[in-house]
Chains A and B, each alone.
Chain A
Amino acid sequence: MRSTGFDARPAGQRRADPLGRSRRRGRNTAWVSALCLLLMVSLVLAVALGPVTVAPGTVAELLLSHLGRLPRRETLDSTASAIVWDVRLPRALLGAAVGAGLAMCGAALQAMVRNMLADPYLLGINSGASSGAAAMILFGVGLGVGEHALSVSAFAGALVASLLVYLVARSAGRVTSMRLLLAGVAIGYALTAVTSFLIFASGSTEGARSVMFWLLGSLALAKWGSPLGVVVVVVLFTGALLSWWGRRLDALAIGDETAHILGISPARFRTQLLVVVSLCIGVVVAASGSIGFVGLVVPHLARRLVGAAHVWAVPVSGLLGGIFLVWADLVARTLLQPQELPIGIITAFIGAPFLLYLIRRMHPGS
């Protein structure tokens, strides 16, 4: 009699691909490669297109020469060079990073609160960032942190909001998904009211307009330097960590009891997730305002492509989110050029119908 049911099979009987997973692995790898390529192409196009169109060949040449891969040619138009390198490229990169960060955090949050309609802004983080930015714009709170004052105060607002959410969710005991949701919604509303009050109290029309811009989200603040660098690094780090935690996210998405059974403390893991997601969203919102719908809709599309296992769904959400936002920003810049639309309008116009489609699919027949 065997001592356990799990003695290793004799080497000759080892099955190749015993669970039939190699096909999916191959298909998903193909998706990731294709999306990486599409992201590259989108970035080049986003840099080429706009009120002044630069030929993609010239864009490629400029990029390569700036990266030191090609000798600089004096014949290259210096205006084109400035547009491509100083204006559009940082903006496109910021768009890709912001989109990726929002989508990956959305995927993690949907697992974390076990609700497929959850969104990174559900935790009130964007309301906190908006309050911080509004306070800065209208009253100059945070003066003395130099040119990044706005980003820094928005980030501080985001951190205060998530800390409040965490404390409220924890005050009654363990951090459960329902407490987290309710605390996030409540704090979000409260901070939105704070922002409105600040606008009302300041009586500054100009200030109110810039806060509005913040509330709708925009990539127009993008330029080379530390904010862009911070966003890119934080988003890459968050993506790597959340993919690394893929199986734990699967377990948590099934339920707290399942997570516990599999050796994961649900309350502690949820707290770790909250820290990572809050930092990422805080940095993203500080750089770009509240761009809606990306974090809500893109994870669903990713799951449709590569399945629900987070090891795949998280990185693919990131790639799709990056591509989506680069294109949304391109449309925002060019649709009514030379005037620029707030990007949040574009993402909502594309995201809302898709969301309606998802809701219809979720409950067939009802």
Chain B
Amino acid sequence: MISGSAISFAYGSRTVLDSVDVSVRHGEVLGLVGPNGSGKTTLLRTLYGSLVPTTGTVYLDASTLQELTARQVAQTVSVVVQETPGDLPLLVSDMVLLGRTPYRRTSGRSAESDEEIAADALERVGMLASATKGFDELSGGERQRVLIARALAQQTTHLLLDEPTNHLDVRYQHEVLDLVRSLARSSNHAVAVILHDLNLAATYCDRLLLLDHGRVVAAGTPSEVLVKEHLEPVYHIDVRRLELDDGFQLVFRAAPGRDRQLRNTDAVDPGRRTTLRP
């Protein structure tokens, strides 16, 4: 389990996180939601030690993150963030085998068992056939799946993802989140995921943390967190919640006459584009 108590973080004098409590528990998916600039990514980065909180402590199981080496953390927590290898033409198999780095003192050639593990991981995200391709030849969605495969190849018990559905079409959005949820359900992983799409968050997360300006606005089940009273002040947009037989669906519409801040426009799907099934 990863837990943080009273985590604050500031870049210079600008406070990005203000006393946030968070726990990522085994067997469930925690969703981090909130508008752009609300501190979601900063919070996630403190949870795997990429950023050290200004105040507050992050615990990984019984130890604090500061007590552990980067390598020990990487054997327990895997992370999926957006990344591009730039001009470096690495193969897909190179990329996934990097997930085995925390287990090797040396960085030499991959042992056969490592290749097995990497192949299994690629198979799970449906990318094994592309193992010999260049990573830079792939589409955005395919890259995302390869990065998830690398996280799987790390064989950790915790998984943190920063917008894993970015660049993915609807089908793969659901496939990836399905996979993420099944890791929590059947393998007892502790999973935290940043999502912009609140309806996806409602469907796949067990608990949600709604952040705004670095503070927790609401925490609880999706049904408790995703209510008009929480969302409208945060996103500055009209929200309707349609109760369905198997859950609910949020519909958004730009608030007429309300000062729409540009920075929030890509935070949620505009209601016009959301299709509804009765």
Interface residues of chain A, those whose CB is within 8 Å of chain B, are: 1-6, 8-9, 14-15, 17-21, 23-24, 111, 114, 116, 243-251, 253-255, 257-258, 260-265, 303, 307-309, 311, 362
Contacts and interface: CB of A to CB of B under 8 A. Distances in A.
Interface string B53-75: 00000000000000001111111
Contact of B94 (A245, A264, A309): A309
Contacts, number: 140
A264 B98 CA distance: 11
A263 B107 contact: no
Contacts of A14: 116
B254 to A, nearest CB: 34
A32 to B, nearest CB: 13
Contacts of A253: 85-86, 88
A267 to B, nearest CB: 10
Given A4-B155, A260-B70, A311-B109, 18 more contacts: A1-B186, A5-B152, A5-B187, A6-B117, A8-B116, A18-B119, A19-B118, A114-B86, A247-B107, A250-B98, A261-B78, A262-B74, A262-B102, A263-B72, A264-B101, A307-B90, A309-B91, A309-B94
Contact of A116 (B73, B87, B117, B152): B87
Nearest to B104: A247
A3 B73 CA distance: 21
A262 B99 contact: yes
Contacts of A243: 108
Interface string B14-58: 000000000000000000000000000000000011100000000
Contacts of B110: 21
A5 B85 contact: no
Assign chain B's interface to a size class. Answer: 35 or more
Contacts of A249: 107
Contacts of B269: none
A257 B90 CA distance: 17
B119 A263 contact: no
A175 to B, nearest CB: 15
B79 interface: yes
Interface of B: 48-50, 69-75, 78-79, 81, 83-91, 93-94, 96-99, 101-102, 104, 106-110, 115-122, 124, 128, 131-132, 152, 154-155, 183, 186-187
Nearest to B129: A20
Given A1-B186, A4-B155, A15-B119, A263 B101 contact: yes
Contacts of A15: 116, 119
A277 to B, nearest CB: 17
Contacts of A248: 101, 107
A18 B115 contact: yes
B246 to A, nearest CB: 23
- Residue with the highest number of chain A CB atoms closer than 10 Å, among B84, B85, B124: B85
A30 to B, nearest CB: 16
B106 A257 contact: no
Contacts of B183: 5
A12 B132 CA distance: 24
B160 to A, nearest CB: 9
B116 A244 contact: no
Contact of A254 (B71, B85, B104): B85
A251 B98 contact: yes
A340 B160 CA distance: 61
Given A5-B152, A262-B101, A246 B73 contact: no
A264 B116 contact: no
Contacts of A18: 115-116, 118-119, 128
A262 B183 CA distance: 20
B191 to A, nearest CB: 13
Contacts of A2: 186-187
18 contacts: A4-B155, A5-B187, A14-B116, A15-B116, A15-B119, A18-B128, A19-B96, A21-B93, A21-B110, A23-B132, A116-B87, A116-B88, A246-B107, A250-B98, A253-B86, A263-B69, A264-B101, A307-B90
A111 B107 CA distance: 15
Contacts of B119: 15, 18-19
Given A15-B116, A257-B50, A247 B90 contact: no
A257 B101 contact: no
Contacts of A9: 116, 120
Nearest to B122: A19
A251 B101 contact: yes
Given A261-B74, A264-B70, A20 B88 contact: no
B74 A303 contact: no
A311 B70 contact: no
B70 A308 contact: no
- Residue with the highest number of chain B CB atoms closer than 10 Å, among A23, A116, A257: A257
A244 B106 CA distance: 6
Contacts of B98: 247, 250-251, 254, 258, 262
Nearest to B157: A4
Nearest to A266: B70
Contacts of A260: 48-50, 70
B180 to A, nearest CB: 12
B71 to A, nearest CB: 4
